Structure 1
Amino acid sequence: MTSDPRGLNRDLTATQHFLYSKTPAEGTHAPPRSTPPATAPSGADDPLRQHYPGLRCGEAYGVRAAEKGAAAALFTAIALRIDTAAYRHEDDRDRRQPLRLKVAQAIDKACAANNAWWGVMTSDIFGCVFPEKDVAAALAIAKKLQEQVNATAELSLTIGLAAFPCLKYTPADVIENARKALAHAFFMGPGGRACFDAVSLNISGDRCYDAGDIDGAIDEFRNALRLDPRNVNVLNSLGVCFGVKQNYPKALTAFETALKINTEEILALYNAGLVSLLMDKRDKALQFWLKAAPLGKDVFELNFQAGKLLLESGQPEKAQKLIERAAGLKPESATVQRLLGETYLAQRLVDQAIPPYKKALRLHPNDAPSLSGLGRCYELKNENLDIALAFCQQSVEITPDNGRFHLRLGRLLKKNGQFDKALTAFKKAEALGENARELILALEDRDVEKAS
């Protein structure tokens, strides 16, 4: 759900039919999500304690760091991780620990010079608290520390920084915010630095969402908007969360707010259309999607949904281009091939309809609409009528409550001289809402004439 302007990777993702732009779950430089890899011990058995007996690790670090920060009117928390590939993939603990110690010594020296405090957040993440230092001052120290470690130990550090005060975050929250900034920094590559901001929260929100914590994602996205109210990607992500929770009015508000900022934001246009459709506002949905269509020629969901809605609204000529485009984007989708066949058939382009129907059935042999549609095509061409009849019979066996399928079956039965069965099929079609009255009367009149 994160935007690219800051150089982050993007993936267009569909979730429960909504679209959002997100950072990859794991990438070349992606940091650990929750449980860090066992690259180094942490806690009582940490070898660093031989050199720093009072070292705080894990939860103890978090508690003490928050206390240190709370004692100051302002402070900056920093999270640091060694990201050099040789270190990250070195299995030999004895060879790795001297490198880790060099980093710890550099951090200790920087903290001593700036009245700061440090510890170990996790097995491979160091943490620091710089009281009475704003982000600008702490960033200068962090940059110098990176340069020193790179020069003396030939290692690179990735660093995240978070400042207090910020919004309504507590000192303990700010310590965690430094880790969120570190996750942000890792998407910038080795040696990256990031200060906690809306993008950091966007990434954190993505991770909550991927873990199924929708409420947590909403909290992160809302805080991101407090830092950057005009971030359209965050607004879209927030709308997706509300949409997944089926709170459609709030979802639509988020998407429309994004569109006030950027009228051509394609994800918000698509999602606003989808929410409108879910709210049974089909005309409004179509307006959003037709506005988005020229902007999203390579977005399958947009072309598919817009074309489908046009077809359902009786506009196959307008639907055709969109559905053809969707079929080009996902040629192995049985649903799209069937929809393409229906689009051609609705315009009596029978020869064009047959190939996509056939392909749909190759991909999904029991697709009732494709069976019925292909049967109708053969009937119109007056060829392969036995096959057409078999297809239409199969379609009503699979989907017995579709009136159109019974209507098509009735026509073929009538053409095949099976008038009693045709009459039954027409009556079933009428009972299911199809206009079959004239066909029924014609067969009933025939029976009367025959009887007389």
Structure 2
Amino acid sequence: MMLKFIAKDIQFLKTTGHTPALTPPDIYYSDLLTQPSKEFEIFARRIADTCAAQKTFTTAAIQIDPATPEDAIDKANDIFHACFHSVLDENRGIWECLDPFTAIFVFWDYQTAAQGKKLLDLLNEKIAQALNTELIMGSIAFPVHNFPVEEMAGCALKALDHAAFFGPGHAIEFDGVSLNICGDRLFQLNDIDAAITEYEKGLSIAPANINLLNSLGVAFGVDGFLDKAMEFFEKARHINPEEVMVIHNIALIHRFNDKNDSAIAYLKKAHGINPDIFEIELLLGHLLFKEQKFDPAISHLDAAIRVKPESGTAFRIKGQILLERAEAASAAAQFNQAVKLNPNDPEALSGYARAMALQKKNLSIALSFAKKSLDLNPENEQYRQNLEEIQNIHDRIEETDQNSSIKSA
């Protein structure tokens, strides 16, 4: 069973923001492994038939820059054919178009890995020159580790997705990062078991890769296997004790196990390494609030707001702290911002309603917000109590006003 997070912003860290952001591809060609097109199915059968007896061969997926002029794309199929046969011949390889932009190739009959790389570079160069555009390429040379022939086409697609993060003009040879990216894609599609398989394959190639160890820990954590998740986070921390995403994730496991003191200790260590990571500041602020340590909690929540002002969660938690301090007007201002950013946050709606009611201001709006919070989460007893409290305040004031009117008359 997947864990229910305390807020959509408080979750496991997959990256820390230390490295420059790369742009994910619009199309993940590795999706063809779970939803194969007719073209890919044809090629997969051909490679299984033709390469089973080959001791070495290279598979490459090549994509034209999507910004290439349409007239060049229209002739891509012919160019792929001409360039493939100018470098090789029908007895040394096969190829297939996957779509108007992309083709997948396999070739053999070379003596050394260097010769295979030279042929691949020549093929890449000829296609780029003929189309007058840059290419994105992912490749894999068999044999690699203990991967079977049948997986080579898929590995080339995973390498192509990897290369696509860097954009046109980049070529990537399949590696553990390619599997991390494929696992992340499956994770994004909520296929956690398949993602775990990809991360484990990646670790079989690169057992000391911190991103893979962390990714596997995250997948197990989201799937509810907290002990297994901690095992991989600790392996990653052993490799690099200063990696903040891993330290944060260990803290989150402690938080899920209701060990808030341990969680806070790890988060403070992560904060000391990098004080500008939203998730760390938000979770630290949240846990310090739960421990009634309001001043340091607000300090970390303010840091979270500075890093990510478009998230309403930190504003909402600040509002809750200010309500605890009986500072209703200041709390209302924080809840107001939280509701603007997320109009369907039941906790912010209920808190805002209560803050207005305590000031005896805008009681009709307070009632509507309190009712909406309960509609969004009908099982929450605190929202129900807040609604009843606000309704009572509203009714008393209305009754007082009516009595005053009668006496005046």
Length-normalised TM-score, structure 2: 0.74
Q: State the partner residue of 1:19.
A: 13
Counterpart residue type for residue 85 of structure 2: D
Q: State the partner residue of 1:289.
A: 267
1:106 partnered with 2:80: no
Distance apart, 1:296 and its partner CA: 4.6
Distance apart, 1:335 and its partner CA: 4.3
Distance apart, 1:131 and its partner CA: 4.2
**Partner SS for 2:108:** strand
- The 5 Å alignment of 1:318-397 reads 318-331=296-309, 335-344=313-322, 346=324, 352-353=330-331, 355-357=333-335, 359-360=337-338, 367-373=349-355, 378=359
Counterpart residue type for residue 119 of structure 2: I
Q: State the partner residue of 1:72.
A: 54
Q: State the partner residue of 2:68.
A: 86
Q: State the partner residue of 2:401.
A: none
Distance apart, 1:330 and its partner CA: 4.8
* Highest RCO, 1 vs 2 (Cα 8 Å, sep ≥ 6): 2
Inter-partner Cα distance in structure 1 for 2:190 and 2:113:
33
Distance apart, 1:141 and its partner CA: 1.5
**Partner SS for 2:115:** helix
Inter-partner Cα distance in structure 2 for 1:318 and 1:375:
28
Pair 1:262–1:86, CA change in 2 (3 A): same
**Partner SS for 1:255:** helix
Alignment length, in residue pairs? 367
CA displacement, residues 370-406 of structure 1 (integer Å, 9 cap, x when unaligned):
4445655x5xxxxx5x879x979x9799698449x78
Asked if the contact 1:184/1:199 (under 8 Å) is kept, the reply is yes
**Partner SS for 2:96:** strand
Asked if the contact 1:273/1:284 (under 8 Å) is kept, the reply is yes
CA displacement, residues 189-248 of structure 1 (integer Å, 9 cap, x when unaligned):
223211110111112112212222211111111111121222212222111211111111
CA RMSD of aligned residues (A): 4.0
Counterpart residue type for residue 281 of structure 2: N
Pair 1:371–1:118, CA change in 2 (3 A): same
Counterpart residue type for residue 106 of structure 1: C
Q: State the partner residue of 1:208.
A: 186
Counterpart residue type for residue 73 of structure 1: K
Counterpart residue type for residue 18 of structure 1: F
Inter-partner Cα distance in structure 2 for 1:121 and 1:293:
50
Counterpart residue type for residue 11 of structure 2: H
Counterpart residue type for residue 25 of structure 2: E
Inter-partner Cα distance in structure 1 for 2:98 and 2:316:
53
Asked if the contact 2:29/2:158 (under 8 Å) is kept, the reply is no
Inter-partner Cα distance in structure 2 for 1:370 and 1:336:
14
Distance apart, 1:71 and its partner CA: 1.0
> Which of 87, 95, 120 is the aligned partner of 1:119?
95
Q: State the partner residue of 2:403.
A: none
Counterpart residue type for residue 75 of structure 1: F
Pair 1:372–1:131, CA change in 2 (3 A): same
Q: State the partner residue of 1:275.
A: 253
Pair 1:98–1:121, CA change in 2 (3 A): closer
Asked if the contact 1:111/1:118 (under 8 Å) is kept, the reply is no
Asked if the contact 1:75/1:129 (under 8 Å) is kept, the reply is yes
Inter-partner Cα distance in structure 1 for 2:192 and 2:143:
26
Pair 1:215–1:340, CA change in 2 (3 A): same
Larger Cα-atom Rg: 1
**Partner SS for 1:112:** coil
**Partner SS for 2:83:** helix
Distance apart, 1:139 and its partner CA: 1.9
Inter-partner Cα distance in structure 1 for 2:244 and 2:66:
38
- The 5 Å alignment of 1:53-452 reads 58-83=40-65, 85-86=67-68, 89-90=70-71, 96=73, 98-112=75-89, 116-120=92-96, 122-123=98-99, 124-131=102-109, 135-331=113-309, 335-344=313-322, 346=324, 352-353=330-331, 355-357=333-335, 359-360=337-338, 367-373=349-355, 378=359, 401-402=381-382
Pair 1:26–1:219, CA change in 2 (3 A): same
**Partner SS for 2:62:** strand
Inter-partner Cα distance in structure 2 for 1:207 and 1:309:
31
Inter-partner Cα distance in structure 1 for 2:120 and 2:274:
42
Inter-partner Cα distance in structure 2 for 1:17 and 1:84:
34
Pair 1:341–1:185, CA change in 2 (3 A): closer
Pair 1:314–1:293, CA change in 2 (3 A): same
Pair 1:246–1:101, CA change in 2 (3 A): same
CA displacement, residues 113-151 of structure 1 (integer Å, 9 cap, x when unaligned):
9x6212215233131222455544322211122223334
Counterpart residue type for residue 326 of structure 1: A
**Partner SS for 1:168:** coil
CA displacement, residues 258-291 of structure 1 (integer Å, 9 cap, x when unaligned):
2222222222222222222112222221122122
